[in-house]
Each structure stands twice: as C-alpha cells, then as structure tokens.
Amino acid sequence: MLIGAGLILFLMAGLVIAAFRVRRPAVDDARSEKVWILGLGLGFSMAVLAALLAYGLVAGERLMPRAAADLVRVEAEARQWAWRFAYDDRPGYFTENLLHIPAGRPVDVAITSTDVVHSFWVPRLAGKLDAIPGHVNVLRIEADAPGTYRGVTAEYNGEGYSRHVFTVEAHDAAGWAAFVAEETP
C-alpha cells in the first residue's frame, strides 16, 4: 500500500512539474478532456480504488471471527482508568489490568464499559474495538507465541488517558491449564 501510494504521488508530482517544463503543441479541449478526465480522472482512479477495495474486503474477511472448537472467551470491562477481565473458563475470577490468554488459540474478548467510551487495543494481536456503555463488542484475538503483550486504551477518556494501559499475558498450553485450574493467581 505504501509503495503504491509513493508511486501515485510521484506520478502526480511528475505531471505537475512537466506542465511547467514540457513544450507542447496546442490540443483542442475535447481531446484533453478525454485524456485527463475520462482516462486519468475516472479510469485510473477507479481501477486503483477497485483493486484496493477488493484487497481490503478480502483481508477484512480473513480477520472475521469464525466458529472454532478450541475457542476461549474472556470479558473485558473498562472504566476510568482501569480494565477488569473475567474468564469463562474460570468463573468468579477477575484480574485488573492484566489479561491472561492461551497462546495459539483463538480468543473472543467481549468488551464493554461501565462509564465512558474506551477502546481495547493490543497492537500486536489485533485492531482496536470500542468499549461502549450498554453494548458488548466482541473482538477476536490470537497470540502466536507465549509472552507478554502491551495493551492500551485508544479513545480519549479523560485525564487518566495516557496512563490507561494494560498487559496481556499469553500462556503456553501447560501454563493456561494451570491458570484455568486456579493454581496461579
């Protein structure tokens, strides 16, 4: 995408500069309109945009949550300025600002808020999704490898915004089993 954008930018810049530099014979309006407006304006823009849109839709489709046998479900509840996480696999247990997930398995995060609008974002795991009072949004994330991942709130939510961060801890299979079995805090 970046390379394409760069190419288009150079094309445009080149055309503008050439307008000042190149000596050229007079062309009648009708022909210029055909080249500039029908050809470049409509034809070129539409071709590039159609390709990009198709790419975006296909990529978006691949990110869609699908039914999976080993799916894990957790709940994320935001407030000013903390996150509280709950686990379907370990009922009644909560963590603050630290989310445990298994690595290598799809995880659905059910996101909501108790006060203002927040947004759940773990840049290395997925895009962001808003936490809106009265609504539950479900985000599919998946960590390829065990480890810790930084998460932040990504919608301005008042004075504590810049410090409103959390951590995601992705466990290997054994670690997750231990977590679910209520062996680790």
Partner 1 sequence: MNALRRHRKLEAIWSSEPGWKGWTSSVNHSDLGRMFLFTAFFFFFVGGVLAMLIRAQLATPDSAFVDAGAFSQFFTMHGTIMMFLFAIPAFEGLAIYLLPKMLGTRDLAFPRLTAYGYWCYAFGGSMLLVAMLFGIAPDGGWFMYPPLTGPLHSPGINTDFWLIGITFVEISAICAAVEFTVSILKYRAPGMSLDKMPIFAWYALVTSLMILTGFPPLILGSVLLEVERAFGLPFFQADLGGDSLLWQHLFWLFGHPEVYIIFLPAAGIISTVIPVMARTTLLGYGWIVASAVALAFLSFGLWVHHMFTTGIPHMGLAFFSAASTLVAVPTGVQVFAWIGTLWKGRPELHMPMLHILGFFVTFVIGGLTGVMVAVVPFDWQAHDTAFITAHLHYVLFGGFVFPMLAGIYYWLPLLSGRKRLFRLGELAFALIFVGFHGTFMAMHWVGLMGQRRRIETYDADTGWGVINFISSVSSFVMAIGLAMVLVDIIIHAFVAMRGRRNPWQAGTLEWASMSPPPSYNFASLPEIRNRDPFAGDPDLPNRLAKGEGYLGEPKAGRRETLMVDIATGRPEAVVVYPGNTRLPILMAAVTGAFFLSILLKLFWITPLALAGVAALALVWVWQLGSRTDQGAQDAGRGVTLPLASETDRSPGWWGSTFLLVANATFFGSLLFGYAFLWTVAPGWPPAEWLDPSWAELGLGIGAALVGSIALRVGTRRNRNGTSPQLALVPALLATVVTVIVFALLLFRLPPPDGHAYAATLFILGAYGLAHALLVGLMQGFLILQVRRGFTSARRQSGFSVVGLWSDYLCAITVLSLLAAHLPGMAL
User: Which listed residue (71, 86, 98, 126) binds partner 1 by CB under 8 A?
Assistant: 126
Give Dmax (Cα) for the chain: 83
137 contributes a contact to partner 1 by CB under 8 A: yes
Decide: helix, strand or coil at residue 30.
helix
41, 87, 102, 123, 138 from 146: Cα distances, Å: 49, 18, 8, 16, 22
Q: State the DSSP H helix or E strand holding residue 45, giving kind and residue range, or none if neither.
A: helix 45-63
82 contributes a contact to partner 1 by CB under 8 A: no
For the bound state, the minimum distance from the C-beta of residue 6 to partner 1, rounded and expressed in Å, comes to: 9
Name the residue nearer to partner 1 (CB basis): 84 or 90. 84
Name the residue nearer to partner 1 (CB basis): 8 or 177. 8
User: Which listed residue (88, 162, 173, 178) binds partner 1 by CB under 8 A?
Assistant: 162
User: Which listed residue (84, 97, 117, 175) binds partner 1 by CB under 8 A?
Assistant: 117
- Which two structure tokens, joined as six digits, stand for 24? 């050229």
